[in-house]
Structure 1
Amino acid sequence: PSSGAPVSATYLAARTEAEFHHLAGCFHLRARRTFGLMGRLTDFMSAFLVDTAAALRALGKHDAAARAAGMVELCRENDLQVTHALIDPQSDRSTLDAPSEAVQVVERRPDGVVVSGCRLLSTLAPVANECYVGPYYPRRRGEEKFMLAFVVPMNAPGLSTLCRESFHRGQDPVDRPLSSRFDEGDAILMFDRVLVPHERMIVDGDIAAYNGMLQARPGYTPLQATIRSTMKLRFLSGLATAIARANGRDKLPRFQAAIGELIALISVAEGIRAGAIAEGLARAEAFARGDVRIEGDGLTGPKTIGVCGGAAINFYFPYANTKAADVLRIAAGSGVLAMSVADYARPDVGPLMDRWLVGPGIDAKRRLQLMKLAWDMTGTEFGSRAGLYERLYSGDPEINAQRWFRSGITRECEALVDQLLNN
């Protein structure tokens, strides 16, 4: 830290094995406190901004890297909450071309660049201090006015935040144990001639920087996402197990098998975490050697730059956490449609609930708590949003799959067939 005062370790640009484990431990503590249910806490964007600065530096975009580093320092030293808006308005899903409604340059002035347009989906925006706007999918030549990466305050003149309604509407926390505590809030951001000062405009029309920074990251962000997703998988698996025990279903082979599969998925997730740390260390070493180069509008790198964390958040965790939620639904059954905790206040009903709504080795009140927790995780607005969030955590799964199809790994696999046939 430039001030010498303690700052969040989530901004650590880890380069050694010890630093990577320290960073991972910090991510783990936050995920543990929130049970993996908040995907856009401060640690996500801390890692994202550090990744961005490192990627631009590795690409030789030193001026852009310096501006990104300046934003890292601003947010780190002032302990600011940052949200992001990476996706264009989905006015026409049949094309990846930048829509006319997307954030774009509308005027250049001596004091900065004026932008207008719309961006989504900004999670945690209602309580954020700053917003990062940048690439998620690559742009094509001719779209330079859309090739922007910048950071602006959430109260910047001309910036409007359109928030969805809250999922918690004053219900008792026993009835809504998750909605009442872990609703992050999502928003659409509308930029109506917002001035971005030059020092906050990280990338402006540079196709190599804009597209390259998507691929040249050291990997702090996938590491954070892997740790958070693993914690959520653990929580869902634990809840499914507790519900099965409360129903006596833990004695049935099919539920033992279903939950056993979740435990196996957790073991794989822990392996992904170890792989993400190893890849991050390999990337850091490659960057230190300058072993990254730009070719045309894209980027190629050494074999040491891996893709474990990226593949996990694209495909593995959306599958694993969706699977865990499905097992939870089946284990709970119709029992999740339980009464309210307020029913205990009724003198004619409360004693009957204590007598008749028990489970194997569990009293009625504890069983009610479990069922309301399962319902909030799977059946309420919070639960529905959580399921959609995991499925689309890293964007459109089909577009992501097409990008993986175009990767060098596909050619490596195909070469094995040629090797066999040629011999």
Structure 2
Amino acid sequence: MRTGKEYLEALNDGRRVWVGDEFIDNVATHPKTRAFAKLTADFYDLHHRPELEDVMTFVDEDGVRRSMMWFKPTDKESLRRKRRYHETVLRNLGAGAAPRSPDVNNSVFRTYVDDPRPWSDQSVGTDGRDLVPGILEFCDLLREGDLNAAIAFVDPQTDRSRDSAQAESPNVHVVSTNDDGIVVSGVKSVATGAVFADYINLGTFYKPGVTSEQIVFAGVPANAPGVTMINREANGRDGEETEHPMSSQGDELDTTIIFDNVFIPWERVFHLGNPEHASYYPQRVFDWVHYQAVVREMVRAELMLGLALLITEHTGTYAIPPVRARVSQFVGFMQTLKAHVVASEEDGFMTPGGTYKPNVLMFDFGRVFYLENISRLTAELLDLCGRASLVFPTEGQWQNPEFRPWLEALQSGPVGRPHDRLKISRVIRDYFMSDWGDRMAAFEGFNGTPILLIRELTIRRAEISAAGPIADLARSICGIENPERPEQTEYLAQAEYARLQDSAAGR
């Protein structure tokens, strides 16, 4: 299994990276990127801690011990084991300070491996090439090296008032093909964490008007000739671990990637040319990303509850009954998210490839619940803190013997050491009152699919249709006969391979 040291060494591979106005010569050592590179290295090193061996690793069918990110859940209990792995990563990496850690990025390939045939059979413009061997070989390459493939599916924002604008977009598109592979040019506007990855998992989300040339799914090395990564300004606080315990862990960055006549060999092409395929399957590959997202949000809700308990205990307001009632909202928030996670596992189903998959609607609407409530509860937490979230001394002021007696008195409460309140306040400030924290909140809001899109895509799931069985009870109560479900109905017209990734009802 890969070590953190090996990961950091691999980052110095000549990749072209800009952060703000500065060119980054080595992602592992540059002050603007080294902290998050170190956090990702910590992810790899977690797998080598003896006390975490049973949680972080498994022994595969060939007797090889591997990272749990490659573990295939085949029943309810093994899915729970996978969740405990995700939770352990989250708890050891700042309760979600790295939303797109390698285990999250690579989870996309669970669906590729589970059912690779449609990716090849539905392709257009491959001259009959079988892409399945390349898909499986690439996934083997990732697994054998414990590599990290960052997700790059989001296209530039175009004129949404007309479908024809999509064809005019600077999207990544196929420029040419030959016997060896394809050449692509264009832009992917958001590829979170691509700077810290080994490969770019190139893909396409369907939009009205997308052209065949813009449908490209492939694996591209982060240092491939013609690839340039342009990043926004970094929000991390490098070297400020005491004052900024969270943001000092680095910024995973949100990357715009330019592909300037990039060659991709056929064995790294996963799908090509079919907008209809892109309207079905790519949403399904993100199901595993979004399952981990609701686990992450559950862990973050636990953090918020703990912070609310600690700060009200330190300030003494927890003794006031109305304050305890307000804190109880965080209990309900955490428990409801946990209920979505547990229920999705309990009501899972088997995919065509023999993977036990959690109930998609249950974890997706867990994400909706989080997004609908997080802003309100953030404001509630800050209100419970009072000035403790904003007015507190720096470490240098605290250590000043002239100020110390006064500052200790200001930070004293019924329990705990005065300096502990500073530590609590710093975490709250970083998470909920900083550029770093605001970016984290924005990421959750747009991670893969925002609320409106989650709801819209729900209606496109195989089992949600007026013509489908979900409406049978209502038909029975209304005294309406069940339809014959002709082929024209949306329920049966959905691509079979997509339906089988939705739920057992799709079979």
The answer (yes or no) to whether the contact 2:235–2:250 under 8 Å persists in 1 is no
Distance 2:310 2:72 in 1: 39
Aligned to 1:87: 154
DSSP 3-state at the match of 1:174: coil
The answer (yes or no) to whether the contact 1:54–1:65 under 8 Å persists in 2 is no
Matched residue type, 1:127: F
Aligned to 2:180: 111
Distance 1:179 1:416 in 2: 51
Matched residue type, 2:201: Y
Report Cα offsets for 1:307-359 as digits up to 9, x if no partner. 3223333x123234444423222222232222211112323212221233322
Range with greater deviation from structure 2 (43-52 or 16-25): 16-25
Matched residue type, 2:270: I
Q: Paired residue for 2:223, among 155, 171, 189? A: 155
Task: Tell me how large the CA RMSD over aligned residues is.
Answer: 2.9
Range with greater deviation from structure 2 (142-151 or 190-199): 142-151
Residues 157-306 of structure 1: pairs in structure 2 closer than 5 A: 157-170=225-238, 172-214=240-282, 216-217=284-285, 219-280=287-348, 282-284=349-351, 287-288=353-354, 306=360
TM-score, normalised to structure 1's length?
Answer: 0.85
Matched residue type, 1:124: G
Aligned to 2:362: 308
Shift of 1:161: 0.6
Residues 324-343 of structure 1: pairs in structure 2 closer than 5 A: 324-337=377-390, 338-343=392-397
> Aligned in 2, Cα 1:51/1:275: closer, same or farther, shift over 3 Å?
farther
Report Cα offsets for 1:87-139 as digits up to 9, x if no partner. 1111334467635211111111222111111113222222211111113x324
Distance 1:171 1:335 in 2: 24
DSSP 3-state at the match of 2:176: strand
Distance 1:218 1:159 in 2: 24
> Aligned in 2, Cα 1:105/1:420: closer, same or farther, shift over 3 Å?
same
Identity of aligned residues (%): 21
Aligned to 2:427: 373
DSSP 3-state at the match of 2:270: strand
Matched residue type, 1:92: D
Distance 2:238 2:283 in 1: 44
DSSP 3-state at the match of 2:155: coil
Range with greater deviation from structure 2 (112-121 or 1-10): 1-10
Q: Paired residue for 1:33, among 85, 92, 96? A: 92
> Aligned in 2, Cα 1:279/1:194: closer, same or farther, shift over 3 Å?
farther
Report Cα offsets for 1:20-68 as digits up to 9, x if no partner. 2332222121112121332100110121112233243477849444332
Report Cα offsets for 1:372-423 as digits up to 9, x if no partner. 1111111111111111112222333323333334555363777766655548
Matched residue type, 1:252: I
DSSP 3-state at the match of 2:436: helix
Shift of 1:171: 5.6
Aligned to 2:27: none
Shift of 1:305: 6.8
Q: Paired residue for 2:112, among 35, 47, 52? A: 52
> Aligned in 2, Cα 1:84/1:270: closer, same or farther, shift over 3 Å?
same
Distance 2:395 2:268 in 1: 50
Shift of 1:3: 8.4
Matched residue type, 1:248: G
Aligned to 2:41: none
Q: Paired residue for 2:464, among 409, 413, 421? A: 409
Residues 130-149 of structure 1: pairs in structure 2 closer than 5 A: 130-135=199-204, 137-140=205-208, 143-149=211-217
Report Cα offsets for 1:148-184 as digits up to 9, x if no partner. 1111111111111112222234463221110011532
Distance 2:287 2:116 in 1: 13
The answer (yes or no) to whether the contact 1:113–1:197 under 8 Å persists in 2 is yes
Distance 1:126 1:306 in 2: 30
Aligned to 1:69: 136
The answer (yes or no) to whether the contact 2:150–2:197 under 8 Å persists in 1 is yes
* Number of equivalences: 405
Aligned to 2:407: 353
DSSP 3-state at the match of 1:195: strand
DSSP 3-state at the match of 2:200: strand
Matched residue type, 2:411: L
> Aligned in 2, Cα 1:176/1:85: closer, same or farther, shift over 3 Å?
same
DSSP 3-state at the match of 1:269: helix
Specify every segment of 5 or more residues in structure 2 that has no aligned partner in the other structure, as ranges.
1-59, 123-129, 481-507
> Aligned in 2, Cα 1:351/1:330: closer, same or farther, shift over 3 Å?
same
Matched residue type, 1:21: R
The answer (yes or no) to whether the contact 2:134–2:269 under 8 Å persists in 1 is yes
Q: Are 1:17 and 2:76 matched, yes or no?
A: yes
Shift of 1:370: 1.0
Distance 2:354 2:422 in 1: 55
TM-score, normalised to structure 2's length?
Answer: 0.72
Aligned to 1:293: none
> Aligned in 2, Cα 1:397/1:306: closer, same or farther, shift over 3 Å?
closer
The answer (yes or no) to whether the contact 1:84–1:122 under 8 Å persists in 2 is yes
The answer (yes or no) to whether the contact 1:85–1:131 under 8 Å persists in 2 is yes
Q: Are 1:318 and 2:383 matched, yes or no?
A: no
The answer (yes or no) to whether the contact 2:134–2:268 under 8 Å persists in 1 is yes
> Aligned in 2, Cα 1:218/1:106: closer, same or farther, shift over 3 Å?
closer
Matched residue type, 2:245: P
Specify every segment of 5 or more residues in structure 1 that has no aligned partner in the other structure, as ranges.
290-303
The answer (yes or no) to whether the contact 2:237–2:244 under 8 Å persists in 1 is no
> Aligned in 2, Cα 1:155/1:2: closer, same or farther, shift over 3 Å?
farther
Shift of 1:273: 1.8
Range with greater deviation from structure 2 (203-212 or 125-134): 203-212
